[in-house]
Every structure is written in structure tokens, then in C-alpha cells.
Amino acid sequence: MRLLLSATSPFARKVHVVLLEKGIAFEPVYVAPSDPTVTQANPLGKIPALVREDGRALYDSPVIVQYLELHTPMPALLPAEPGARIDALCWEALCDGLCDAVVAGMLERRRPADRQDAGTLAHHEGKVRRALEVMEADLGTRVHAVADAYTLADIAIASALGYVGLRAPALLDAHPALVDRYARLSERSTIACTAPPTVFPAALVTP
């Protein structure tokens, strides 16, 4: 299998971690979203995309994760108990939505200053702030997000926090507990080795 990804995409990082956690052999292929390889695999031109041995591609990240869980059930990254499984999937949805908002805000800020819309920026920043507040309140002091075990929820949380730390670190200033959680999650080798190759704020650097 080939995983089309970028070094900074939190969605690709999530899939990358799942592949590593499950010990699935794959070839990482680092590409820009504009690369023709991406549109051949995903007509939407988005990464990640997982190209299987038969040449068929899967997209986007939630679908790929579900496929990998079915393809290689162990170690399980989604709880078997229905309630806990739904909780893990809700964490994934929250984290993906948070990252979508960070991306949207970043793209707006890349427009010429005189064409940026303050309302649009505030709208997306509000999404990120609310998501971080809910994340911190719901996690509390628990070691893991769901079912007292390492699951997809923890992987999604690490990917999202790492992306906020990369693109909008100031939004983490009010959430030291989340910064600490990211540091603890980064002690896991699969999280550490998939971190974006960009300098993070000092508090987010893995030892």
C-alpha cells in the first residue's frame, strides 16, 4: 500500500500513526495536494489517500482509518463496546473539525491584507477556541480519552494539538493542560516520529 501524505497535514498524520500502530507495511509518498498523483487517487485533490495493492484508492482520513481497523483488527484502536466506540469517533470528528477551522483561518490569512475578512477569521478562530475548551474540559485529568485505553481518540487529539501548535500556537496559551497532554502523547514513538518537521513552541518540543 502507498499512503499519499504531506509532512504537515494532521489528517495524514492520523492515518500515518494508525498504520504504524498496527504494524502495516506501507510506502509513504510525500506529495503536495496539487501533485497529479493526488488527483489521480482522489478526485477532490485532498490528502491523505491510501492506494491499495489493487490500485484502488481510499479517502479521506476517517474512511481510511475504518478500513485499516477492518483490514488489521489488532491491535484494536476503536473500542468494541458501542458507546465507547461512538465516543472515540466523536473525538475524531471534533479534532478533524478543529483542524479544518485552523486550515480555513490560515488560508484567509494568506490573502492580501486588504482582502482578508475579519469576520471570517473570527468565525474560524471561534471554532478552534471552542473545540479546545471542550477538549480540555472533557479530558480532565484522564490518561486516555476513551475507555481507559489508547485509541483512535488519542491519536486524533495528538494530531490536532500538534497542528494547532504548528499553525496557531497562541491559541494554546490558555490551555496548558492540553500542551502537557501533547507532550505526554509525544512520548509514544508513533506520535513522536510523525511530528511535522517544523520548529514548535518550546513547550511542544518532544524531548
Domain span at 125: 82-204
SS (H, E, C) the chain: CEEEECCCCHHHHHHHHHHHHHCCCCEEEECCCCCHHHHHHCCCCCCCEEECCCCCEECCHHHHHHHHHHHCCCCCCCCCCHHHHHHHHHHHHHHHHHHHHHHHHHHHHCCCHHHCCHHHHHHHHHHHHHHHHHHHHHHCCCCCCECCECCHHHHHHHHHHHHHHHHCHHHHCCCHHHHHHHHHHCCCHHHHCCCCCCCCCHHHCCC
| Single-letter code of the amino acid located at 179 | V
**Closest CA relative to residue 59, chosen from 12, 98, 18, 22:** 12
Q: How many domains does the chain fold into? A: 2
**What mean pLDDT do residues 60-64 have?**
97
**What mean pLDDT do residues 66-74 have?**
97
* CATH number of the domain bearing residue 198: 1.20.1050.10
Give the pLDDT of residue 79: 97
**Is there a single domain that holds both residue 92 and residue 188?**
yes
**What mean pLDDT do residues 104-114 have?**
95
How far is Cα 194 from Cα 184, in angstroms, rounded to an integer? 15
How far is Cα 136 from Cα 177, in angstroms, rounded to an integer? 7
**Is there a single domain that holds both residue 169 and residue 90?**
yes
How far is Cα 60 from Cα 156, in angstroms, rounded to an integer? 14
| Single-letter code of the amino acid located at 199 | V
- Is 77 within a domain? no
Give the pLDDT of residue 34: 85
Length of the chain: 207
Is the pLDDT at 137 greater than 80? The verdict is yes
Q: What is the pLDDT of residues 155-166, one digit of tens each?
A: 999 999 999 999
The residue among 38, 71, 104 that closes a domain is: 71
**Is there a single domain that holds both residue 25 and residue 121?**
no
- pLDDT exceeding 70 applies to what percent of the chain? 95
Q: Is 114 exposed, middle or buried (0-12, 13-18, 19+ CB in 10 A)?
A: exposed
**What mean pLDDT do residues 44-71 have?**
97
- Is 76 within a domain? no
**What mean pLDDT do residues 64-88 have?**
97
Report pTM: 0.93
Is the pLDDT at 207 greater than 90? The verdict is no
How far is Cα 132 from Cα 191, in angstroms, rounded to an integer? 20
